Chains A and B, each alone.
Chain A
Amino acid sequence: MSIEKNNLSNLMEKDYTTLNLGPTHPATHGIFQNVLTMDGEIIVKAVPTIGYIHRAFEKLAERRTYSQVTPITDRLNYCSSPINNMGWHMTVEKLIQCDIPKRAEYMRVIIMELSRIADHIVCDTVIAVDTGAMTGFLYLFQWREKIYEIFEEICGARLTTNIGRIGGMERDFPEVAWKKINAFLEEFPAALREFDKLVTRNRIFMDRTVNCGPISGERALEYGFTGPNLRAAGVDYDVRVMNPYSSYQDFDFKIPVGTQGDTFDRYMVRMQEMWESLSIVRQACDKMPKGDFHAEVPDFYLPEKQDVYSKMEALIYHFKIVMGETEIPTGEIYHSVEGGNGELGFYLISDGGRTPYRLHFRRPCYIYYQAYSEMIEGGMLSDAILTMSSMNVIAGELDA
C-alpha cells in the first residue's frame, strides 16, 4: 500500500533540485548568486541575488568634491574605466558649460575606443573560455595588456585609471604613448584576425553559442537593454550616434547589429565593434588637430604642479579646486556615454555646494541583468554560464 502511495506522489510532483550557483563560483567571473531550481540539468527557475560588493557610491559621491568623484567612477565598470571617467568629466563640463578643445576631445576618443576594445576583448575571450577554448583567451589577452601599457604612458595607471581631468586631459600624450598606439594599430588587426579564425567559425563554439540565451528586440527594449546586448537583438541604438559627444560626429563608423539576440550574436557584435573602434582610433590619430589639450577653465582645471610651486595665482586655484571651494552652477544634468556594455548615464543634481547634491549612475549592467533569469529559464546549466559571460555583467557596475 505504502509503495503505491509513494509511486503516486512521485508522479504527481516532480523532484526538483535546488542548486546554489555562487556567490563565489569560478565560472561566474564575479560575485553573483543565483539560486536555481533544477529539473535534471534544465533550469526551471532562477532567483538572482545581487549586492555582494555594494560600496554605496551614490552616497559616497554626496560627500566628495566633483574631482574626487572620478576615482569612484573607475570602480564601476572596471574593464573600461576610462570611459566612465570621461563620462563623468563630460557631465561636469556640461554643468559648468565649458567647451573642450578639439584636440582634447580627439584624445578622449582614442582613449575611450581603446578601452572599448579592452572591454570587448575581456568579454569575447571569456565567452570562448566558457565554451572550453582557452587558447584564444591567452592569445588575445596580451593585447589588452598592450592597451593598459598605453594607458600607463598617458596617465600612470592601468586598471583604475582616473584618466583625464574636468576641462580636458591632464597632459598631452607623450611620444612613447604615440609610438605604442601606432604599434597597436599596426599589430592588433593580425591578432584579432587570428582569434577570429580560431574561434568564430569553430564547430564546437557555434554549437554551444548559437541559440543560447536568446532575447527578442522588443523584450530587450522592455528590459532596458543598451549597448552590444541590445544591438545583438537587432536594435541599432548607440549613444555615440544618437547623441554624439566628444566629437564622435567627426568619425565614420558602422553600428553592427545582430538578429537573434543570442550568445553568438552578442559575441559577433562585439567582434565587429572592435574593428569599428580600431577604425575610429585610426581616424582620430590621422585627423588629430593641433592645439591645447585642455580648456581655459582655471576654476576647475588643476594648474600644472610647477606653477603651483612658483606662481601665486596657480597656488590659489590649486587650493580652491582641491578643497572644493569653486563656485559651481546649480541645476540638473543628465549625460550619457556609450560604455563598454551600454548606456552609462550620470544624473547629477547640483545645489551649488562643494559636492553633488545627488548623483545617480545609470548602470547598464544593473538594468539588463534583471532579464538574466528569464533568459536562462528552460535552458541548460552550462548555457546559463555562457549567457552570463556573453552579457558582460561586471560586478562592480552591477552593485555600484
Chain B
Amino acid sequence: MSELHDKVLSQLQNQFPEAVTFSGDERDFPVFHIEKKNLLEVLKFLKSEMGFQFLTTMCGIHYPDQGENEFVLMYQLHCLPTNERIRLKCMMSKAHLDVPSCTSIFPTANWMEREAFDFYGFRFTGHPDLRRILNMDEMNYHPMRKEYALEDAGRDDKEDKYFGR
C-alpha cells in the first residue's frame, strides 16, 4: 500500500471509525469506499483538515449486476500543494439514490451533480438547483444507465460472442 493511502486511511479511521468500507491502491492512486451517511463529513474533513481542496471531477457509474452496490458515485480530490490525488466512491442501490449534495463544500460540484442526476438519476438532497443539464427537460429516463443500449436492440452483429469473448 502506498504512503498516501496509509496516511489518509489512518486519519479517516480515527475520525470516522465506520465510514471506510474498503480501501486500496488503484493503478494510479488510492481509492476509498465511503458509507453514504458519512460522505458529506468525510469530504468536509478531507477539504479542511487534509488539504484536498480541489474537486477534480465527479461522475456516476452503473454496475447493473452488483445488487446493493448498483450505483456508484466517484469523487476525485486533489491536494494541490503536495500534488496528491485520491478517489472516493460511494455505493448505493437503485432504491436509495438520494445522496447529500456537496455543493456547500465544493461550489464546482453544482454542475457535476446536475450531470450525474441527468445521466444516472442520483437525487442530491440540498442541491440548490437540481435540474437536467445536458439533456432536454422533457426526457423521462436517465440515459447513461446500462439498460439503455446505444444501438437498436434487434441488432446482434456487434455482440462480443462473435469475437471469442
Measuring CB to CB, which residues of chain A are less than 8 angstroms from any residue of chain B? 50-51, 54, 56, 58-60, 62-63, 94-95, 221-224, 235, 237, 242-243, 323-325, 331-336, 343, 345, 347, 349, 352-354, 358, 360, 362, 366-367, 369-370, 399-400
B27 adjacent to A237 (CB under 8 Å): no
B97 to nearest A CB, angstroms?
17
Q: Let me know if B165 and A399 touch, CB within 8 A.
A: no
Can you report 28 A-B residue pairs in the complex whose CB atoms are below 8 A from each other?
A51-B132, A51-B133, A51-B136, A54-B135, A59-B150, A62-B150, A63-B150, A94-B27, A221-B54, A221-B80, A222-B107, A224-B55, A224-B56, A324-B163, A325-B165, A331-B27, A332-B31, A334-B28, A334-B29, A334-B87, A345-B57, A347-B57, A349-B61, A358-B59, A362-B57, A367-B111, A399-B134, A400-B134
Least CB distance from A30 to B in Å reads 15
A1 to chain B, nearest CB (A): 42
Nearest Cβ distance between residue B23 and chain A, in whole angstroms? 14
**CB-based nearest B residue for A242:** B83
A85 to chain B, nearest CB (A): 20
- Give me the interface of B with A, judged by CB distance under 8 Å: 26-29, 31, 53-57, 59, 61-62, 74, 76, 80, 83, 85, 87, 106-108, 110-112, 115, 119, 132-136, 143-144, 150-151, 158, 160, 163-165
**A243 contacts across to B, CB distance below 8 A:** 83
- Complex: how many Å from CA A179 to CA B37? 61
When the two chains form their complex, are residues B26 and A331 in contact, meaning their CB atoms are under 8 A apart?
yes
Q: Which residues in A have their C-beta under 8 angstroms from that of B54?
A: 221, 224
In the bound complex, what is the Cα–Cα distance between A370 and B57 (angstroms)? 14
What chain B residues lie within 8 Å of A222 (beta carbons)? 106-108
Q: Which residues of A contact B132 (CB under 8 A)?
A: 51
User: Could you tell me the distance in whole angstroms from the C-beta of A262 to the nearest C-beta in chain B?
Assistant: 20
Cross-interface CB contact of A50 among B26, B80, B85, B134, cutoff 8 Å: B134
A362 touches B150 (CB 8 A): no
By a CB distance below 8 angstroms, the chain B residues around A237 are 80
